A = this chain, B = another copy of it.
């Protein structure tokens, strides 16, 4: 989101525009934003154009409300601040082993993915992926991780099929190096996928339903990644 929109949207959110329509004149908004009535009016039109805001333009007073898209953008910024102030160098995610759909394995075993894993994370994933259903109390932490820049594993095409771009985050499970892999075009999910050099189920003697803790490395990446 453009920074000028972020500031305006945040102030509207503070006026209560997240859950409800609020009656705010362009003059009032201008005062809140430290700008003129005219500029605030224009800003509202821009935010409407960007679909961050919807409006009910009554005869007397306009009423505005932040859209889901707008709330999502604000939440991304919130997560950036959480990374700054709450999470220092790592975060622990608790969850349970789940079998999932087994699709991850087929994807991860593709050579172009494998080669990139080795180049960027310094290990070749042994098997497919280990699915972990993250505990509800840690889901917001998972969202913070998802919004961080990770190791980029580029997508490719093969046999007419598209393999999407994936983000990988260094992590540890029971002191074993591993990585969380997140498809770029993923929505809100409560399950994360782990890849590791070893066969995790066998090496750690874990089975579906077991509780595990995954420690995700949050130290900033060096630029060449």
B-binding residues in A (CB < 8 A)? 3-4, 6-7, 10, 13-16, 18-24, 28, 58-61, 63, 74-75, 77-78, 80-85, 92, 172, 174-176, 203-205, 213, 215, 219-220, 223
**Number of identical protomers:** 2
**CB-based closest 9 A-B pairs:** A20-B213, A78-B81, A3-B7, A23-B174, A22-B175, A13-B84, A16-B220, A23-B175, A78-B85
Is A203 a contact partner of B60 (Cβ separation < 8 A)?
yes
Known: A23-B204, A84-B74, A175-B22. Is A16-B215 also a contact (CB below 8 A)? yes
Bound-state Cα–Cα, A13 to B220, Å: 11
Q: A10 contacts which chain B residues (CB < 8 A)?
A: 80-81, 84
Q: Looking across the interface, which residue of chain B has its beta carbon closest to that of A63?
A: B174
